[in-house]
Chains A and B, each alone.
Chain A
Amino acid sequence: MPPVSRGFHRKRQEVPADRVPPGQYVTRDFPVLSAGPTPRTALSRWTFSVEGGHEPKSWTWEEFRALPSEKLTTDIHCVTRWSKLDTAWEGVSLDVLLTGLEHDASYALAFSDGGYTTNVPVADLLGGKAWVAFGYGGGPLGAEHGGPARLLVPHLYFWKSAKWVRGLRLLAEDQPGFWENYGYNMYGDPWREQRYEGD
């Protein structure tokens, strides 16, 4: 047993446990955590595509921004244990993006500029649970936080909310994304503390 450092403790939680999932603490910051450099894709070249359906679907930035969008306030939970409450976003619901798209897929792999990927079941993208977000805190989503647009799936750990998202690959079988390949949970429900494989 290593020596205990007197008086040292992890960051403490300040809010009632029913507001914050197990093992999390609340922060007022919005930490910038990235696995690679911030991409700088020009909006003129930006597209969002959905592959793997009966027909491929794609939107340019103008087409994407012309879609109905909505504002939402939600809590977000990072697997590194910080939670941020009442974050304000604006985005296009995945219900809008996947409307009318015929497919046989139960799973999706989100892919981003820079090569990042993460997997989410299609059911967790629908029913008002997921967005492609272009706005944060009342303004455009900053590049360091995933702008021009990121996936937003707040009911799962935040590594599933892929920054700099460029599309979804619809799949019949679940496929691990970047962090899932190294042992992070395939699903990632913060309320059941599904951080790692086997949780």
Chain B
Amino acid sequence: MDETVLDGNAIGGLLIEVFGTEMTTAVGTCGSCGATSQVAELAVYMPGLGTVVRCRSCEAVLMVFVRIRDVTCVDLMGLASLS
């Protein structure tokens, strides 16, 4: 059991910064396995270098956020959709 894994609640503020609105109840569809989940329930890893959000079903990377010198790089390519 990985003690350090969080969930989408932990990145609520980051998501508001990136999307301009509350996103924890948005529904994401995994581009790899098709599983759907509210963002609040996704697996979130924050190793300090960036934030990696993964599908709880298949562990595929759905979103990556990296903040360097006040610019946040946002990679949503693992999601089939986010609404």
Do chains A and B directly touch (beta carbons under 8 Å) in the complex? yes
Chain A contact residues, CB within 8 Å of chain B: 31-38, 78-80, 114-115, 144, 159, 179, 182-184, 196-197
* Inter-subunit contact B75/A182 (CB<8 Å): yes
* Inter-subunit contact A159/B49 (CB<8 Å): yes
* Inter-subunit contact A33/B48 (CB<8 Å): yes
Q: Given contacts A80-B48, A182-B50, A184-B49, is CB(A196)–CB(B68) below 8 Å?
A: yes
Majority DSSP secondary structure for residues of A touching B? loop
Interfacial chain B residues near A32, Cβ < 8 Å: 3-4
Distance in Å: Cβ of B43 to nearest Cβ of chain A: 8
A12 vs B59: C-alpha distance in the bound complex, in angstroms?
A: 37
Nearest chain B residue, comparing its CB with the CB of A182: B66
* Inter-subunit contact A35/B45 (CB<8 Å): yes
Interfacial chain B residues near A78, Cβ < 8 Å: 48
Give which listed residue, A33, A114, A182, A197, contacts B47 with CB less than 8 A: A33
Interfacial chain A residues near B5, Cβ < 8 Å: 37
Interfacial chain A residues near B47, Cβ < 8 Å: 33-35, 80
A34 vs B46: C-alpha distance in the bound complex, in angstroms?
A: 7
* Inter-subunit contact B49/A196 (CB<8 Å): no
A-B contact pairs, 7 of them (CB 8 A): A35-B47, A35-B49, A36-B52, A37-B54, A79-B48, A179-B66, A183-B68
A184 vs B61: C-alpha distance in the bound complex, in angstroms?
A: 18
Interfacial chain B residues near A114, Cβ < 8 Å: 59
A56 vs B77: C-alpha distance in the bound complex, in angstroms?
A: 32
Excluding A34-B2, A37-B5, A159-B49, 10 further A-B contacts by CB distance (< 8 Å) are A33-B47, A33-B48, A34-B45, A35-B49, A35-B52, A36-B52, A37-B2, A80-B48, A184-B49, A196-B68
* Inter-subunit contact A183/B66 (CB<8 Å): yes
